[in-house]
A and B are shown apart, each in its own frame.
Chain A
Amino acid sequence: MKFRTGVLVGLVAALTAGCTLAGNDSASGPSTVTLVTHDSFAAPQQVLDAFQQQTGIKINVVKKGDAGALTNTLVLTKANPIGDAAFGVDSTFASRALSEGVFAPYTSPEADRGPQRYAVDSEHRLSAVDLGDVCLNIDTGWFAQHGVPAPATYDDLVKPQYKDLLVVENPATSSPGLAFLLGTVARYGEQNWQHYWTQLQANGMRADAGWEEAYGQDFSGSSGKGPRPIVVSYASSPAAEIGDDGKPRTKALLDTCYRQVEYAGVLAGSPNAANAQKVIDFLLSQQFQATVAENMYVYPAREGVPLPASWTTAAPLPPNPASLPAATVQSGREQWISQWRSLLGQ
């Protein structure tokens, strides 16, 4: 018995010795920049490696939830930041990050190639990296099959012929859901948006907690093959739904888009600001900007960066999306969410 226990303990120890994570990690040092970002961040390793070869800077990526969770993490840790630079604070949360003094001023030489069009503050504490427009997506096949004309605008959705066809996300728990709510506030104004939602609900709208359920399960145009042909998703989503015939199965309604800009900046209080600035330059550079569409399903903020060939027909950049000033969003967001909840009896 004792012998066997000894063997077991030895075995466990041997297993662990080779398994421990600590020690194989060098997330500090002058040549490493910690980039705090959101869960959707993705970049090809070879592009990151090329940057490291050019500059000697290794980017250590740390992910912290969605844009909201990321922003709040940065706010909570501003006295002693957990990184040197951050990417993924979007226009919905930019105001909070700026008023809390999370970011240090830095004007990137790359910013005049397009990103400055989306500047949110005069000190350039945030540089625009990409655009992630939230629009209604429709299952074009469903409408062709059922002989119903495809909807095109917010107003269409409350018509009787589109009863029980729409699935949205709860703005309290989903960032595309919040963007869609902001889109309706931008379209109908702070006075009338609630009336619009009341009509939507009367017309059989379904609200899910997250994009995964709405798009992956209830929407008929994705692999989930759900019952509803209209969903709140992104302008870029149709690019992922191209069939074997080379044609997209879905379409974004370009008149229902709300623009969310994602920003990057140097964290105030980073001891590594000079290198962090180089990382911001890299995020705005042609090399990195050329990867954002394929890897993160967003549109580059830089001018003259070609989109993947399939995007030009399936997922063009919405020409005139709605948006609200960052300060308006900051002051209204919480109230609108709670109004939305009580409106829907939730």
Chain B
Amino acid sequence: MSRAGLGLAALAVLPLGFLVVFFAWPVGAILRLGFAGGGVFAALAEGETWRLAWFTLAQAAGSTLVAVAAGMPVAFLLARVRLPGVGIARTLVLVPFVLPTVVVGLAFRALWADGGWLSIVLANAFFNVAVVGRTVGGLWALLDSRAEDAARALGASRWRAFRSVTLPALMPAITSAAAVVFLFCATSFGVVLILGGARYRTLETEIYLRTENLLDLTGAAALSLVQIAAVLAVLLLGAAARRRREGALRLRSRRETARRPVGGEWAVVAAAVAVLGLLLTPIVALLVRSVSTGGGWSLAGYRALAGTGNDGTLQVSGWDAALNSLRTATDATVLAMVVGVSASVLLVALRRSPGRVARGVGESMDAALMLPLGVSAVTVGFGYLVTLDALPGDLRRSPLLVPLAQALVVIPLVVRTVLPVVRSIDDRLRQAAATLGASPPRVWREIDVPLAMRAVIAAAGFGYVVALGEFGATSFLARPQTPTLPVAIAALIARPGQLNNQMAYAACAQLMLVTAAAVIVIDRLASGRVGEF
């Protein structure tokens, strides 16, 4: 084995080890329990299973389309437009992401009582516009606009120049974002449950029910297999789409590419503003709920939140819960960054290596890294219960489990955000550096790291927000002494009485505030981080 090969192997240990211990092993254990019961294949043959699969994929596809359509103008605004307020928009677009699904579900129900499947699609898209806006915007901001300008100079219309120059260059980021959004929507639980009432069910809601309430692990295993197969198929399609479109791009800094919109670009800006307005609607509705009482307005919810609730609902004050959220999210993000960035570096290196085997390994690892987004949180959570006691120190009781489980959801996002940027770094830059005598580590340091840094920080910000809002895995491990804000909100909303209700919505406002502050800090760190050359 060559030295480079050894280096790659060493790099692979961390992400693969993490995935095996905290994902493959627990999920495999639960599936095995299901198979031990027998009858999995009988369950697979039921028409009901396939109806569920169909609806799951259809609603996820619909949600993805809506999120991409709404996210593209937002991406343009964030990447290419220099206007007052763009900075605020950048923060704002991430806020929906952290809101607990139960709250968003209730807000959508309040705005549109019987929307049926359409409101499921819209609510899923509401959560995920940020994924498209920030992922695509991240690459768009770095694209060299001179190719587009050349096309314009040669007589192409603005639309034509966008279609034949910019869009192909953005494709890797768009497909990446679409894949992530699709997985989020295919496994969305709270939204489907609340907006679907008792009518609409997906693989995810059914897996939850069978695992958590009925302990029908056999039925759940059958559905999980279908879910995993569907997710893998979509991932492979996405990978194939990306393969055909990836090439080296000339990356520049945003300062060179952002400018005041001209002509037809104003229409895109208007569309982006309209999308942001729509995103704000449920958010404003929540804020109104937090201060409205039966007869008027009051800040009682906020006052009670400074304490521990009105009847011992919470063991800690809202601010303590916010602090817990920040702590856990920090742990999860650091963990996910370490694993995700090393995985991205590994994947890029594998792609560049000459052997077909290495490339094949890269492809399959890429898909494997995405799988945690496509597997039910309840499967992972119950998997932890039956496996992690085998590790030293019975991790099942450890507070570390919360950031670990959150990191599992964040890692795929990190990979999808960092990878397109790292991949599109022009190899000729590297070759030039090597010709000038730079060692491979030096090439990384001087070429790849500066260019990728921005994407890395964007991924960290994004991952942080996802961890802040994560509820599925967190609620399994909720420790009353240290609840996170989403867990506290769920506890408050599950109790009768006006004050509890106001407090729940006040806690949502607090969560949004904390999120916005975190995003602003991270974006501040990220600005001006792109090397110039």
* A residues lining the B interface (CB < 8 Å): 1-2, 4-5, 8, 11-12, 15-16, 19-22, 25, 27-28, 34, 39-45, 61-65, 68-69, 71-73, 75-77, 80, 82, 96, 170, 172-173, 206-213, 215-217, 222-225, 233-234, 237, 240-241, 243, 291, 294-295, 297, 334, 337, 341, 344, 346
Q: How close is B304's CB to chain A, nearest CB, in angstroms?
A: 14
CB <8 Å contact, A76 and B382: yes
CB <8 Å contact, A170 and B479: no
B491 at interface by CB-CB < 8 Å:
yes
CB <8 Å contact, A69 and B213: yes
Looking at the complex, which one of B402, B480, B502 makes contact with A61 (CB distance below 8 Å)?
Answer: B480
B294 at interface by CB-CB < 8 Å:
yes
CB <8 Å contact, B450 and A334: no
Q: How close is B395's CB to chain A, nearest CB, in angstroms?
A: 11
A-B contact pairs, 26 of them (CB 8 A): A15-B330, A19-B327, A21-B400, A21-B403, A25-B398, A27-B397, A34-B397, A39-B490, A61-B479, A62-B397, A63-B478, A63-B479, A65-B475, A69-B212, A72-B211, A207-B198, A209-B197, A210-B193, A216-B106, A217-B109, A224-B501, A240-B495, A294-B311, A295-B311, A297-B496, A346-B199
Which A residues lie within 8 Å of B193 (CB)? 173, 209-210
Which A residues lie within 8 Å of B491 (CB)? 39
Which A residues lie within 8 Å of B328 (CB)? 21
Contact with A along B119-161 (1 / 0, CB 8 A): 0000000000000000000000000000000000000000000
Q: How close is B208's CB to chain A, nearest CB, in angstroms?
A: 8
Q: How close is A240's CB to chain B, nearest CB, in angstroms?
A: 3
Contacts A5-B453, A21-B400, A82-B396: A334 and B106 contacting too (C-beta < 8 A)?
no
Q: How close is B249's CB to chain A, nearest CB, in angstroms?
A: 21
Contact with A along B326-351 (1 / 0, CB 8 A): 11101100100000000000000000
Instruction: Give B309's nearest chain A residue, CB to CB.
Output: A42
* B residues lining the A interface (CB < 8 Å): 102, 105-106, 109-110, 193-194, 196-199, 201, 205, 209, 211-216, 293-294, 311-313, 315, 326-328, 330-331, 334, 382, 385-386, 389, 394, 396-400, 402-403, 445, 449-450, 453, 457, 475-476, 478-482, 490-491, 493-498, 500-502, 525, 529, 531
Looking at the complex, which one of B102, B312, B482 makes contact with A212 (CB distance below 8 Å)?
Answer: B102
Q: How close is A212's CB to chain B, nearest CB, in angstroms?
A: 5
CB <8 Å contact, A21 and B327: yes
CB <8 Å contact, B199 and A223: no
CB <8 Å contact, B480 and A63: yes
A-B pairs, top 3 by smallest CB distance, nearest first, are A240-B497, A240-B496, A170-B198
CA distance A27 to B212 in the complex (A): 25
Which A residues lie within 8 Å of B199 (CB)? 346
Instruction: Give A82's nearest chain B residue, CB to CB.
Output: B396
CB <8 Å contact, B476 and A241: no
Residue of B193, B211, B500 ringed by the most chain A CB atoms within 10 A = B193
Which A residues lie within 8 Å of B327 (CB)? 19-21
Looking at the complex, which one of B197, B397, B480 makes contact with A170 (CB distance below 8 Å)?
Answer: B197
Which B residues lie within 8 Å of A39 (CB)? 475, 478, 490-491, 494
Instruction: Give B529's nearest chain A residue, CB to CB.
Output: A4
Looking at the complex, which one of B294, B382, B400, B494 makes contact with A22 (CB distance below 8 Å)?
Answer: B400
CA distance A173 to B202 in the complex (A): 13
Contacts A28-B397, A172-B209, A217-B106: A212 and B531 contacting too (C-beta < 8 A)?
no
CB <8 Å contact, A213 and B194: yes
Instruction: Give B200's nearest chain A residue, CB to CB.
Output: A346
Which B residues lie within 8 Å of A344 (CB)? 198
CB <8 Å contact, B213 and A68: yes
Known: A42-B312, A80-B389, A172-B209. 9 other contacts (CB 8 A): A16-B334, A22-B400, A25-B399, A42-B313, A44-B312, A63-B480, A71-B215, A82-B385, A96-B215
Q: How close is B331's CB to chain A, nearest CB, in angstroms?
A: 6
Which A residues lie within 8 Å of B450 (CB)? 1
CA distance A170 to B206 in the complex (A): 13
CB <8 Å contact, B198 and A77: no
Contacts A8-B525, A213-B109, A241-B496: A22 and B198 contacting too (C-beta < 8 A)?
no
Which B residues lie within 8 Å of A170 (CB)? 197-198
CA distance A297 to B212 in the complex (A): 24
CB <8 Å contact, A22 and B399: yes
Which A residues lie within 8 Å of B531 (CB)? 1
Which B residues lie within 8 Å of A2 (CB)? 445
Which A residues lie within 8 Å of B396 (CB)? 77, 82
Which B residues lie within 8 Å of A213 (CB)? 105-106, 109, 194, 197
Which B residues lie within 8 Å of A34 (CB)? 397
Looking at the complex, which one of B403, B478, B494 makes contact with A211 (CB distance below 8 Å)?
Answer: B494
CA distance A225 to B293 in the complex (A): 11
Which A residues lie within 8 Å of B311 (CB)? 42, 294-295
Looking at the complex, which one of B110, B326, B497, B501 makes contact with A19 (CB distance below 8 Å)?
Answer: B326
CA distance A72 to B220 in the complex (A): 14
CA distance A8 to B334 in the complex (A): 13
Q: How close is A220's CB to chain B, nearest CB, in angstroms?
A: 12
Instruction: Give A250's nearest chain B residue, CB to CB.
Output: B496
CA distance A225 to B294 in the complex (A): 8
Q: How close is B368's CB to chain A, nearest CB, in angstroms?
A: 26
Looking at the complex, which one of B196, B215, B293 makes contact with A72 (CB distance below 8 Å)?
Answer: B215
Residue of A21, A206, A241, A341 ringed by the most chain B CB atoms within 10 A = A21
Q: How close is B494's CB to chain A, nearest CB, in angstroms?
A: 6
Which B residues lie within 8 Å of A96 (CB)? 215
Contacts A21-B403, A209-B197: A223 and B529 contacting too (C-beta < 8 A)?
no
Instruction: Give A215's nearest chain B residue, CB to CB.
Output: B496
Contacts A216-B493, A297-B495: A209 and B196 contacting too (C-beta < 8 A)?
yes
Instruction: Give B330's nearest chain A residue, CB to CB.
Output: A19
Q: How close is B74's CB to chain A, nearest CB, in angstroms?
A: 26
Q: How close is A293's CB to chain B, nearest CB, in angstroms?
A: 10
Contacts A76-B386, A77-B385: A223 and B501 contacting too (C-beta < 8 A)?
yes
Which B residues lie within 8 Å of A1 (CB)? 450, 531
CB <8 Å contact, B312 and A40: no
Instruction: Give B378's nearest chain A residue, CB to CB.
Output: A69
CA distance A211 to B482 in the complex (A): 25
Which A residues lie within 8 Å of B330 (CB)? 15-16, 19-20
Which A residues lie within 8 Å of B385 (CB)? 73, 76-77, 82
CB <8 Å contact, B194 and A209: yes
Q: How close is B216's CB to chain A, nearest CB, in angstroms?
A: 8
Contacts A19-B330, A21-B328: A82 and B397 contacting too (C-beta < 8 A)?
yes
Instruction: Give B500's nearest chain A residue, CB to CB.
Output: A240
Which A residues lie within 8 Å of B490 (CB)? 39
CA distance A211 to B293 in the complex (A): 20
CA distance A44 to B308 in the complex (A): 10
CB <8 Å contact, B198 and A208: yes
CA distance A65 to B377 in the complex (A): 13
CA distance A240 to B492 in the complex (A): 13
CA distance A12 to B334 in the complex (A): 8
Residue of A41, A213, A215 ringed by the most chain B CB atoms within 10 A = A213
CB <8 Å contact, B213 and A16: no
Which A residues lie within 8 Å of B502 (CB)? 223
Instruction: Give A214's nearest chain B residue, CB to CB.
Output: B197
CB <8 Å contact, B398 and A22: yes
CA distance A334 to B313 in the complex (A): 32
Instruction: Give A294's nearest chain B residue, CB to CB.
Output: B311
Q: How close is A271's CB to chain B, nearest CB, in angstroms?
A: 12
CA distance A173 to B196 in the complex (A): 12
CB <8 Å contact, A72 and B212: yes
Looking at the complex, which one of B212, B294, B498 makes contact with A65 (CB distance below 8 Å)?
Answer: B212
Which B residues lie within 8 Å of A212 (CB)? 102, 106, 194, 493-494
Q: How close is A329's CB to chain B, nearest CB, in angstroms?
A: 13
CA distance A207 to B500 in the complex (A): 24
